[in-house]
Chain A
Amino acid sequence: MSASQEQIDNLIQKEYKPGFVTDLEADTLPPGLNEDVIRAISARKNEPPFMLAWRLKAYQQWLTMREPDWAYLDYQAIDYNSISYYSAPKVKEAPKSLNEVDPKLIETYKKLGIPLHEQERLAGVAVDAVFDSVSVATTFKDKLKEAGVIFCSFSEAVHTHPELIQQYLGSVVPPSDNFFAALNAAVFSDGSFVFIPKGVRCPMELSTYFRINAANTGQFERTLIIAEENTHVSYLEGCTAPMRDENQLHAAVVELIALDHAEIKYSTVQNWYPGDEEGRGGIYNFVTKRGDCRGHHAKISWTQVETGSAITWKYPSCILRGDHSIGEFYSVAVSNHRQQADTGTKMIHVGKNTKSTIISKGISAGRAENTYRGQVKILPGAINARNYTQCDSLLIGPKCGAHTFPYIEVKEPTARLEHEATTAKISEDQLFFCQQRGLSAEDAVSMIVNGFCKQVFKELPMEFAVEAQALLGISLEGSVG
């Protein structure tokens, strides 16, 4: 075992490439949280009064709430008054076009492999780039506008489409939902907004790229996607942060609304800085993501590849309200060194003939703890509801932990539910077989791990699949698809 163990170790000791810092002048609020801070954020964004009122109410709710402690996570208590709740690259005026965006910012994204110049961009993906607390650029806006699609920063949408914001904001994840959702509602600074009007198939993939740069700053963004009747949209989300010794808080909220026959596919490659080998630094990632299949035959599909963050607390969920609606959750969560991930999903079946699928692949290495936590709830009246869940955990090394905590609640006698979970280490028989066919132990591990994750990778859009595989440190041309 020792020889191959060493190679496995090498494989999982990958350098964190996006760990650099961009030196920029920033407008940053001093640390601390109170009503004045919230007023200051709202004022900086020049928000209409309804937004400020909403934030203040959320803040009052937050004050009465307790930080959840049920997750399988162990971290130092967060001092919410030591965090700065707003930081933005300093600009005199909002840039009207990409040409006015600070070249340093453009350079940052280029280094991350996200060129913002449209001509350099692969046709077919529009990008909204969020840097610390604000959106710095959105590409292909005009082309999308032609199709009727609205894709812009959240703060812009507050001004240009206040009626949509008022109608949908908080309608899936109300501020009272949980501690971090309330905090986000009070202080969120930006995010992406997507609106697909009736009958439109979004002509290109939409993508938001989140970057935390400033030190001692929390990032609180909010994404709202509304897909009206008979629409389709595929949305990608990526995230990175510099390597810093202290922990940084990221508490985002994503709300998806799918009306009749609408389909939203939401893919995430989460690569926040995970901290170093000893567990110093890294992002604390507390995210509430939820989709509401409000219409019949609506479909919401979450695909996530989670490799980053020191702490992950994240359960992208679906409320299957509309009859015949479909919820899907495909997840690969990799934790290494001292990372801790508690992630999974909730599928709430309300409508008739609703269907959900959960495929979760956890990989745990080093001294990491990797937990799947999921809930499938089938309410009375969800006639013929179906759920299939498969949770597999792969262990690499004797010091990590892998845990599976599903919650199954069925109150409808025509429902059928099937849940399976397994935990095992990489099989020595498989390793030897591959080696006997001439592959090195390292390639053999790569191949087996990728095979293990294949069901999830094949759900990712092509471009993202490649990034996801690269993130696992694995070359696997041809085996995915």
Chain B
Amino acid sequence: MLSIQNLEAKADEQAILKGISLDIKPGEVHAIMGPNGSGKSTLSNSLAGREGYQVTHGSVTYEGKDLLAMKPEERAREGIFLAFQYPVEIPGVSNIYLLKAALNAIRKHHGQTEVDAMDFLQLVKAKIKSLSLDEQFLYRGVNEGFSGGEKKRNEILQMAILEPRLCILDETDSGLDIDALKIVADGVNALRSPTRSFIMVTHYQRLLDYIKPDVVHVLAQGRIVKSGGPELALELEARGYGWIDPSLNH
């Protein structure tokens, strides 16, 4: 599904990613762990095409296409979904309007007709219930005045409605208490399927207790320094990042 070859990228004119290679097959869940500054967010943002992140070397092939040549919205329409670490507020634009506009943009891209208003409402209502969100939530401005937990659940709601093929969860667990984390994890688990893949970027192993990864990669100083099964995350938790990257010992 996704093949990253020797990816190097800069952020703010500073080289952050220094050669990353990664293969993700349909249905797989990959966890990318690493200390602060290891390049986790740069990787997520480079895949989503955010401005200010400049790929200087390497290639990314997504379902046989050159991902890096696509505009951010094209990547989204092709099924790449970034769940933001810090979801932005957009005052005055209602949640439901954004969801509908986004869904229709994606459907149009795939040659499908726009979704019927009633069908859409039913779909959305069903989804918000499973995320323990109030219906009022739909009519509030996007993330406007939401708590940290609500913002993260809103990201998962968008994911559930847009039904992407590849989900990138950027530190989705940060700032969540244990109850909110469970709700978010349940939301993600419900979306797991043999055709949908996940990249979970996280600092802590806590999230992996709730969403079981197939593969765990450890990122340090812009490179993947170790890959393994779920047990790698536990070992990392027990021994700290210094185990992988001695420069972090002090």
Interface residues of A (CB under 8 A from B): 1, 3, 427-430, 432-441, 443, 447-448, 450-455, 476, 478-479
Contact = CB atoms under 8 A, between A and B. Distances in A.
Given A437-B162, A447-B101, A1 B51 contact: yes
Contacts of A437: 76, 98, 102, 105, 158, 162
Contacts of B81: 436
24 contacts: A427-B88, A430-B88, A430-B90, A432-B50, A433-B84, A435-B49, A435-B71, A435-B72, A438-B73, A438-B76, A438-B77, A438-B102, A438-B105, A438-B106, A438-B162, A439-B101, A447-B101, A450-B93, A451-B91, A451-B142, A452-B91, A453-B92, A478-B96, A478-B100
Nearest to A453: B92
B201 interface: no
A447 B92 CA distance: 9
Given A439-B105, A443-B105, A447-B101, A479 B93 contact: yes
Given A434-B102, A455-B92, 5 more contacts: A433-B87, A437-B105, A451-B93, A476-B97, A479-B97
B72 A436 contact: yes
Nearest first, the 7 A-B pairs at minimum CB distance are A451-B92, A454-B92, A451-B93, A437-B102, A435-B72, A438-B76, A479-B97
Contact of B51 (A432, A434, A439): A432
A455 to B, nearest CB: 7
A438 B141 CA distance: 18
Interface of B: 48-51, 71-73, 75-77, 81-82, 84, 87-88, 90-94, 96-98, 100-103, 105-106, 109, 141-142, 158, 162
A448 B100 contact: no
A438 B51 CA distance: 15
A331 B226 CA distance: 58
Contacts of B97: 447, 476, 478-479
A450 B106 CA distance: 21
A435 B105 CA distance: 10
Could you tell me the dominant secondary structure of chain A's interface residues?
helix
Nearest to B100: A478
Given A438-B109, A451-B90, A3 B100 contact: no
Contacts of A478: 94, 96-97, 100
A332 to B, nearest CB: 12
Contacts of B75: 436
Contacts of B142: 451
A443 B88 CA distance: 17
A435 B92 contact: no
Nearest to A4: B51
Nearest to B72: A435
A439 B92 CA distance: 17
B93 A447 contact: yes
Contacts of B162: 437-438
A453 B141 CA distance: 13
A438 B71 CA distance: 10
Contacts of B87: 433
B101 A443 contact: yes
A432 B72 contact: yes
Contacts of B77: 438
A434 B106 contact: no
Given A428-B51, A438-B105, A479-B94, A451 B141 contact: yes
A82 B162 CA distance: 62
A439 B73 contact: yes
Contacts of A451: 90-93, 141-142
A428 B45 CA distance: 13
A308 B199 CA distance: 49
A478 to B, nearest CB: 5
Contacts of B141: 451
Nearest to A428: B51
A443 B97 CA distance: 12
B98 A434 contact: yes
Given A437-B162, A438-B77, A440-B105, A447 B98 contact: yes
A440 B73 contact: yes
B76 A435 contact: yes
A437 B104 CA distance: 11
A258 B60 CA distance: 67
Contacts of B102: 434, 437-439
A474 to B, nearest CB: 12
A434 B89 CA distance: 11
Nearest to A441: B73
A440 B117 CA distance: 21
Chain B CB within 10 Å, residue with most, of A437, A441, A447, A453: A437
A436 B92 contact: no
Contacts of A433: 84, 87-88, 90
Nearest to A361: B92
A365 B104 CA distance: 29
Contacts of A427: 88
Nearest to B102: A437
Nearest to B161: A437
Contacts of B109: 438
A429 B102 CA distance: 16
A67 B93 CA distance: 42
Nearest to A447: B93
A434 B50 CA distance: 11
Nearest to B73: A435
Contacts of A439: 73, 101-102, 105
